[in-house]
Structure formats: structure tokens, C-alpha cells
Structure 1
């Protein structure tokens, strides 16, 4: 009510003032009663219209909607004055220009009031230190929306101090008192000049290399980088921490920069019809269902309405988390959750016999390269023995399709991890050659955000104030997200042929040192150091997705290479597994590793119909369903 009264008094004063100005302050020429009646109209219009239309809580103060209501109220007052003037022209004559001039000045005054209030608020927030000075990158629609969100934030976390944009046409643009300072390339200079503590990226299609460049330019400055999410981004409605966020925390609307943003994975395109036909109405078994890849694979499979989805793992906590993610509750009473150890061949046979799956996704494995170099017998028992037992059970119980999750370490393998995975790729080729069934492997690299991954390691080191450890300045690795990997695994299962290894397109390899620098830059900890520890046994400086001699042929999908794999002698592979289970293996680990290397380097024995007899005896050597499957060697120093 008080604001309405003040506005009414101001409007009435303007009517009087403009009337006097119109007559050059010759008061004897002024029609006093007419002037007073029009002033009263100005007062009453705002006194009544203010509470009803402007200040009743319908509009945010200073918003364009409220300003439109003010303009409408002014126009109503001017209109009534005109009606009164023409109705009583003989008695209350005042110049027609007075209501128009007074109304225009009223609009100008209210505009100026909003501008002053906004700038005083911004200045007080900046001076008090209650809000972080913020630069918005992008002067398009997203940038304007970001500025509005900053202004409307009741927490006053940010205060905008400038905009950056490369468009010359926007060089002199101002929005709500915030102006474009210059091009994005000069961001470091503008951060220094304005004292900005935060940068909000408000360009929806900003190339990842540009985002990386921004982070690089700000590496030595304690500046936090935020992303203005797209309106469809579910992050807008999800305030809880996300595993892929560098700092693990979200602002109400502006999310943290994820490494997916910096890596710039191109959107994948899959054939939904192919995937649906391979899974819908089928019984699906997923091993390692409690791990990063296994759990995400379960979520992807569930989208396509399988007849049944059986999930097994030896990690009860992992299964609990997977069911919670799928069902929203985790009572652990479902028959589709199976707790068991894949090192037990009887468990494998019973599981497959009772589940009668149409397709098996084998995502259980030991994955940490350095551990497996030290304990090769565990790698052979798990990655080879358990996989071969599961393969044997699939053949025995007429499973139509078998998909083994492999790793890029299997290409030109130099590590125990890579060799064990490649040996199963070849074993699957041997079995598929005999049975003709769609048994295959899928090979890809490191998965962002999975347990034990480079992202998790770097973030933990930065948060703890420790140096960030990288093996070598030039080490590179392939990366993709769990969503991408699992969706392409399902696509591969739909198009793969018997015995093939399907290699997923991982994009361009990423330098691990660059990744570490981005994490440090985004954390705002300019004092964090990178320490190079040197390559460990079995590690490569660079990874390849294909072995020498493997052709990059993509007949069915632009992101999936289909590679024919040379079969392996299953009897010799069984002997290797038996050696790994020898109680004295701990005293001759190097001999076991040499045996594995010789086996893969030897020529494969031609596959005959009798080859299936070689599968049975191997079933005595089984392995553990580990809770995670991400092929790991990420170049992180330990």
C-alpha cells in the first residue's frame, strides 16, 4: 500500500509539474481546478491499481512483467484524464500534452528506479563479499537466462560483473546493467580485472576444445567454472551430488563441469530397433551386475523390456546398489538377484541351468592392471577360468548369445590383464566356430566415473590436498562414459557375428596429464601439483583399439568395428588354468605369466568338431565375479 501511495504521489506531482512547465510557470494561466482533478486521478489510479495489479505479489519486483503492469496503470491514468478533459473541457481545461508527458516521465522514473536498485544491490553484494563476482561466457539467449537466474537467486551466491562473447555485433551489448567486456580469449585478463571468483559457461554448443582452453587459461587462478545446463537437462531438477561432477556438488541451477564436457564425446547413435529385437522378451543374465559397467548394463537392458533380467555378483553391496537404482528400493528378496562366486563351477552350472538365459552379458572380471601384474594367477583364475566355465555352461544349456566384455588392453596385449582378456576373446572364437552361435566379445577402453577410475583418483587426490600422480607426461588413454559403453555393447550384441570381437569407437585418445590439469583447474586449487611416477610393468605409453593385422571394418555400424578373431587351442588354455590353480603357483608366478604369453603367441590349432570335447575339462577352473569391469590402466601413478 505504501509503495502504491508513493507512486501515486509521484504521478500526481508530475501532472502538476508538467502543467506548470507547459505554461512556463505563469500560474495565472493555469486552470487550477483542472490540474488538481487530473492530479487526483493520477493519485487514485496508482493507489487503487498498485495493490490490485502491481504490488499484490503477482510479479517479481523489477521484472518485465511488473514493469508492464506499471505501464498499463500509467496508460489507464492518462486515458481517464483525457476522458475527463474532453467531458468537462469548458471547466477543467488543461493541455492535452500534459497527461502524455507526465505518463512518459512516470515510466522513465520507474525504469530508472529499477536500474538504480539493481545496480546498488549488485554493488553492495560485490563490496560486502557475500556473493562471488561472476563472469558469464555467452551473450546469447542462454547467457541472458543465466543473468536472470543470477539476479533472481535468493541465496545471492553469484553476482554478475560482466559477459564475454566472440560475436563482434554484441561487443557493446548491455543487459540489466551488465555489459559485454570482450572476447572469450581474454577471459584471464577480465577475471583479473574484475576479481571474478566464478565463470558460468552459457553457450549450449560450445566446442569441448574451447571449454578446455577456458579451463587452461584459468588454471593458475582460483576460479570455479560452472555450466548453464540445457532446459532439458535433468540436472536442473536433481540437486544431489553426481559421480561425474568434478567437485561432487551442484548449485541449484548451474552444474559443475564434468570431464565428459572436456573430453567432448560426440553423441552416439544406435539402432533402437536392433537392440529391442535382441533383448525384448528374452531372458538376460548379467554377471558382475554390482559393478560400474554391470549395473549400468542392467539399467540399459531393463529399458527394452526383457522377459527376465537376472543379475549376479559376489558383492552384496553392489547388488543392493543396482537394485536400488533399478527399482527405487532394495529389499534383496527378488529371485532375479543372485549372490554367488563365479570361482565356483557348480554355482555357474546351477545358475545357468535354472535361469535358462537367452543371452549372457559377462561383465565380471578383475581389472586393475598393476595388481594383476603382481598376482597373475588371480587374473588367470578369474578372467580366464571363470569366463571359460561360464562359456562352457552356456554351450551346455543352449544359450543363444554370449557377450564378453573385453578391454582395449587386449589389442597388442603387453600386460597380464590384456593377455587374459585376449585369451577369452580367442576362446569365444573357438567355441563359436564349432557351435555357430552368436558368442562374441566387445572391446573398449576406460570408463569415466567408475570405481577406481582416473577421474575418481584425481578428484580424491585434489580434495585431500595431495599431489596428482600421473605415470608419464605423454601417456594417453581412450575414454567413454558408462552410458555410451553400455548402449554400444547392446548394439554390438544385436549386430555381432559368431566369434567376432566388436571394437567400440572411443574417439580420440586423451592425454592423462591434460586430464589432470583440467581437474586441478576446475577444482580451483591452483597450488595442486602433478607428480610423474613412471610407467609401471605392463603399461603402455599409448593404447590401440586394434591389434596389428586387425582390419578396421565397420559393415553394420559407424561406431563399431567387427574383427574376426583367431581361435585358440582350448586344451592348452585349460592347462594354463590348471597351472594357475596349483597350490605352488605362488612360488612360480613368472613361469605362469610366461606360459600365458607363449600360449597367445603360438599358432591356433585348427578347430574341429571334436573341439567341444576340450571345453568340458576346463570347467574345473573357475573365477570370481568381481564387482567392477572397467578396463583400468589409465596412466594414474600409485
Structure 2
């Protein structure tokens, strides 16, 4: 039924209800012995007109009554009350009389009939229009706003295959209550008992505000029932329209290893991004593509997507163009190792902000191919940074790595040199140059999680280099958001370090992923392969000489500037010399200590 027809039907029904209310009220009070017929007719006409006016004002015809709640009742109350008051005012002004008792009875009947017809439709829909057979008995963890949202969606959707039969919640004030006719049957620690009592077949976690440690605890309790739980989408995804409440999904390892969401200074970020021209190198990569998505939320005027791989650039370009039609997107297939090409692109677009995410990052591969690591990570960074300087870019943000701290690998050493390059340029340029350093990113290309998933799918074993090896982890969206925040906060010349939380043992990560997949270690074994060339046992975020107490954001630290650029300067000035790469590799090796430090910076 179209909106116009629906509104016409509702208005017709309401008109009959209003007339019935006033005439039936007269019957109850006066047994039809009402000598002032003119007053009755005029009052009825005024009441109908006033009802429709106030129904429009309070949007009674726009409500989806299958989801009716107390808000809809309040709207009915306001509309009916004001309608009756209007009819009373007209009686007094036109006829100089007020039949208060008749109006009060009319008001009560009016509310009863209007509200009754609305909620009768909801009751009919819930009772007769939803299939009852074959639905999975579902336990909802959390009886708060998220839980009731999930319960309402599951009960109100004819397509849903789940039937909520119980909640569990740690709030003592909710115990033994019923919410939407569903009992709160216990606490989170009692999940196993509740699941057995109510013959639970499905579990949905619906506490969007919980901390990661709480999710870990809940997940472990759910696994005691041998039922793999699902989780509702984040409320921000529901509110933004990206996901529906009903789009519940499996709990993933990223949910447990990621940290609690951080509050960003959106106003400060908007000042640097909104209406600006932004260029991202490596825009098709894991970090680069997420940077593009996050930056689009701040409405840049134009975004240049630069990358070496045509397929990845095409993919992110199509995705962004479909979602952000008001932003101009340009694509450039280019290699940051090409100095003239980078200068040409910078001159063509004159970006205000540049995010340099293009890099080689795979440690063992770069140990075997040091020349390529130097060309891409050092020379590519220098080419891009100098081109940005020449084009008058306002801010240049380089994505660095925790492996640049006391580097033991070619990749880490080249990243450290790249940091020195941008720090040096900050001293001679009007452009603000800043490096942002963080650790491993969950789910990025080449990271351990996709590897573990493939190994588990293949039946194992899951390969771990060493039982004591630890790494810092954060999610791709969080890393990207904090990079953008760091760029907005930077004064220039800093090495900004993202708070990575507590380090995680790789073997614990492997065990969790095996459990998430529904297996035990007896099904999918863990095999230790030994440390690979260039790897550290523990990662560090700041070197001893870089530790700084200053914090520019609750999740961003600033490292002290290390004045060791002299070892690189002589090489940089001979940028076109044939032996440049060999000389830079020597400098990289000079930066690498003979043995790895094993103390992690907290």
C-alpha cells in the first residue's frame, strides 16, 4: 500500500472513530436526550478537523505501528487531548456553554479507540503473520537497549529464523523480570544452566558497549554450551545505516583483540580535511584503502587514489564513488620510486594533505630482497616527500612501523631511515612532516590472521615461530582513524606513536582462532617453526632514547626527535649515484644491532 493510500485509509478510520466517540459519549451520558443538536454537530465537526490537524502535527499517520511503543502512545495522547480542548473552546466561544462531562467521556473513548486500532494491528501481526514452526530457540545476552532492539527485530521480522526465549544479564534489577514477554533468566555466569533449561539452540551477544575483556569472558561462557555465539552489529553501524540489527554475525578474533573504540577530535580533523584535496599513496592496500574510507567521512573536496596495482586502485575507486557521490575521486597508477612521476602528480593536483601508506612491509621477504626494500621504503618516501614539499603540501603523514625501533630487519631499518628523511625535510620545508608508528594490523595483507585461517581451513597445523613471541595488534579501522587524528594534531617533525594496548602472544592468538573455528588443539595442531630472519621476539614502540612523557591524545604519544640523520645525509645527496642502493643497505645494517632487544616498551 502506498503512503497516500495508507494515509487516506487511516484518516477515514480516524474520522469514524472520532464521530463514534462523541456520539457514543452522548449516548452514555444522556441516553440520546440531548436538546442542543447544533452544538453536537458543530462539536463533532470541530473534533474531526482538530484531530486530523493534530494527528498531522504529531505524525500519527507516519508511525510504523507494528513497532508501536510508549512514544506512539504519547503522540496519541497529545493529539487527542488537544483536539478535545479545541472542541471545548469552540463550544464556549460559539455557544457560550461547555459540556465538560461529555468532552471528558469523548476524550477517554477517543484515546481508547485510536490507540486500540493501532495496537490491534501490531498484535495481529505478531500473532498471525509470523511463522512459528522451525524457529531456533535463541538466548539473548544483554537485556538492555541492544538486547531489546535485537528481540524486537527478531520477533517482528517474518523472515527471521530465530525466536528469542530468554535473556541473561548481570544487572540485578532486571533479574526475574520479563522484557517484551521474554524472561531475564539469569546472569552471564549462568549461561550454561539457562541454555540447558530453555533448550537454547542459538546465542546472540547484544551488549554493544562492553569492553573486549568482557566479550572474551562471555565468549568463553558461551563455548561451555558448545553453541558458537553470534554478535549484533555496532550501534554506530546500525545508526549510520550500514547494517541492520538483524545482520548478526560470528564473533571474530578481531573483536577480542581489538581495543575499545577511541573518541576522536572530529572537529579538529574536519578543520584539516573538510573541503581539502587529499592524496593517499598505496591507496589500494589494507591501510591505504581504509584511510580512504575514513577520510571520506570528513568530506574532502577531492581525493587522489595513488597506487602501483591497477586492480586494487580500481576496486577502492568504485567502492568510494558509489558511496560518496559528492566527492571528486581521481586515480593515478604510479610507482613512488619514480621521482619525476611523483613530482608530476603533485604539481597536477596540488594536494593539501598527503598520507604516504605505500611501502614494502613483509619482513622475511625484504630480508631476501633488500634492494627492493630500500628502493620502495626509502627512495620512494624521499621522492614522495620532496614532491610534496615542492608542491606546497600543508601536511605530509608517513605511515611507519614499530619495527623501526632498534631494527633487526631490513624492513625495519628502511622504515627508520624513511622516518629520518621526513624528519630532516621538516627542518627545511614549510610542509609539516610527521611519521606515525604502530604495530601489526589485524586482517591486513600478509598479517598472521589470514594465514592462520587458511591453515585451519586446510586442517592444520597452525604454524607459530616461537611459543614466547608477542606482538602488538590493532584493527585496521582503529589504526586508520588514529593516523588521521595524528596528522591533525602534529606540529611537524614528530614521530607519533599509537597506543597499541597490551602485547599478545602469537600462540594464544592461534589457540583462540582454533577455538573460534569450532576445533580443539587435538583437532588442529600447533607447530613451532623457529624465528625467521630479521624477526624479533618482542616488538617495541619507542626506543630508550625516544621515550617522551608527552601525550597529544589519549591514544597517541609523541616520541623525541632522534638527531641521527647525519648517517643518512651523505647518501641522500647522491640520490642519482649508481651505488646508492648498496650504500643505503650499508646504513640499514649499521642501524641493526647484532642482537635483538627483548624488552617491550609499554
TM-score range, shorter chain: 0.5 to 0.7
After superposition, give the CA deviation of every residue in 1:407-426 in whole Å (9 maximum; x if it has no partner).
11112222222111111111
Instruction: State the partner residue of 1:570.
Output: 569
Task: Specify every segment of 5 or more residues in structure 2 that has no aligned partner in the other structure, as ranges.
Answer: 1-63, 74-122, 595-602
Q: Residues 219 and 276 (structure 1 numbering): CA distance in 2 closer, same or farther, change over 3 Å?
A: same
Instruction: State the partner residue of 1:266.
Output: 260
Instruction: State the partner residue of 2:337.
Output: 343
- What is the distance in 1 between the residues matched to 2:414 and 2:397? 16
Q: TM-score w.r.t. structure 1 length?
A: 0.64
- Conservation of the 8 A alpha-carbon contact between 1:428 and 1:567: no
Instruction: State the partner residue of 2:102.
Output: none
- What is the distance in 2 between the residues matched to 1:330 and 1:578? 45
Q: Residues 571 and 270 (structure 1 numbering): CA distance in 2 closer, same or farther, change over 3 Å?
A: same
Select 2:541's aligned residue among 545, 551, 556: 545
Matched position secondary structure for 2:278: strand
| Distance apart, 1:358 and its partner CA | 3.3
Residue 182 in structure 1 maps to residue 186 in structure 2: yes
Alignment map for 1:209-220 (pairs within 5 Å): 209-219=213-223
- Conservation of the 8 A alpha-carbon contact between 1:215 and 1:521: no
Select 1:201's aligned residue among 205, 214, 226: 205
After superposition, give the CA deviation of every residue in 1:339-374 in whole Å (9 maximum; x if it has no partner).
112222221222223233333221100111221122
| Distance apart, 1:304 and its partner CA | 3.6
More displaced stretch, 265-274 vs 403-412: 265-274
Matched position secondary structure for 2:288: helix
- Conservation of the 8 A alpha-carbon contact between 2:461 and 2:527: no
| Distance apart, 1:555 and its partner CA | 5.1
- Conservation of the 8 A alpha-carbon contact between 1:381 and 1:581: no
Instruction: State the partner residue of 1:557.
Output: 553
Q: TM-score w.r.t. structure 2 length?
A: 0.68
Which structure carries more relative contact order (alpha carbon 8 Å, separation 6+)? Answer: 1
| Distance apart, 1:559 and its partner CA | 2.4
Select 1:529's aligned residue among 524, 529, 539: 524
Q: Residues 509 and 232 (structure 1 numbering): CA distance in 2 closer, same or farther, change over 3 Å?
A: same
- What is the distance in 2 between the residues matched to 1:232 and 1:329? 17
Alignment map for 1:89-104 (pairs within 5 Å): none
Backbone CA RMSD of aligned residues: 4.0
- Conservation of the 8 A alpha-carbon contact between 2:253 and 2:516: no
Instruction: State the partner residue of 2:61.
Output: none
Q: Residues 208 and 339 (structure 1 numbering): CA distance in 2 closer, same or farther, change over 3 Å?
A: same
- What is the distance in 2 between the residues matched to 1:64 and 1:340? 57
Q: Residues 218 and 535 (structure 1 numbering): CA distance in 2 closer, same or farther, change over 3 Å?
A: farther
Alignment map for 1:228-307 (pairs within 5 Å): 228-229=232-233, 232-234=236-238, 238=242, 252-263=246-257, 265-307=259-301
Q: Residues 475 and 213 (structure 1 numbering): CA distance in 2 closer, same or farther, change over 3 Å?
A: farther
- Conservation of the 8 A alpha-carbon contact between 1:361 and 1:403: yes
Select 2:475's aligned residue among 463, 471, 481: 481
Matched position secondary structure for 2:544: coil
- Conservation of the 8 A alpha-carbon contact between 1:293 and 1:486: yes
Select 2:499's aligned residue among 495, 498, 505: 505
- Conservation of the 8 A alpha-carbon contact between 2:389 and 2:430: no
- Conservation of the 8 A alpha-carbon contact between 1:384 and 1:420: yes
- Conservation of the 8 A alpha-carbon contact between 1:488 and 1:504: yes
Instruction: State the partner residue of 2:354.
Output: 360
Matched position secondary structure for 2:167: strand
Instruction: State the partner residue of 1:439.
Output: 433
Alignment map for 1:333-482 (pairs within 5 Å): 336-435=330-429, 437-482=431-476
Instruction: State the partner residue of 2:18.
Output: none
- Conservation of the 8 A alpha-carbon contact between 1:446 and 1:479: yes
Instruction: State the partner residue of 1:137.
Output: 141
- Conservation of the 8 A alpha-carbon contact between 1:408 and 1:444: yes
| Distance apart, 1:328 and its partner CA | 0.7
- What is the distance in 1 between the residues matched to 2:224 and 2:579? 51
Task: Specify every segment of 5 or more residues in structure 1 that has no aligned partner in the other structure, as ranges.
Answer: 1-57, 69-113, 240-249, 586-590, 603-638
| Distance apart, 1:503 and its partner CA | 1.0
Instruction: State the partner residue of 2:230.
Output: 226
Residue 166 in structure 1 maps to residue 162 in structure 2: no
Select 1:596's aligned residue among 560, 580, 588: 588
- Conservation of the 8 A alpha-carbon contact between 1:138 and 1:164: yes
After superposition, give the CA deviation of every residue in 1:124-147 in whole Å (9 maximum; x if it has no partner).
85xxxx444432222345434434
- What is the distance in 2 between the residues matched to 1:382 and 1:230? 38
Question: Which structure has the larger Rg?
Answer: 1
| Distance apart, 1:197 and its partner CA | 3.8
Instruction: State the partner residue of 1:77.
Output: none
More displaced stretch, 223-232 vs 406-415: 223-232
Matched position secondary structure for 2:305: strand
Q: Residues 317 and 167 (structure 1 numbering): CA distance in 2 closer, same or farther, change over 3 Å?
A: same
Matched position secondary structure for 1:233: helix
Matched position secondary structure for 2:533: coil
Matched position secondary structure for 2:481: helix
- Conservation of the 8 A alpha-carbon contact between 1:353 and 1:397: yes
- Conservation of the 8 A alpha-carbon contact between 2:303 and 2:330: yes
Q: Residues 537 and 172 (structure 1 numbering): CA distance in 2 closer, same or farther, change over 3 Å?
A: same
| Distance apart, 1:149 and its partner CA | 3.6
After superposition, give the CA deviation of every residue in 1:304-361 in whole Å (9 maximum; x if it has no partner).
4445322211111111122122211899xx8821111222222122222323333322
Matched position secondary structure for 1:224: coil
- What is the distance in 2 between the residues matched to 1:64 and 1:278? 43
Q: Residues 152 and 530 (structure 1 numbering): CA distance in 2 closer, same or farther, change over 3 Å?
A: farther
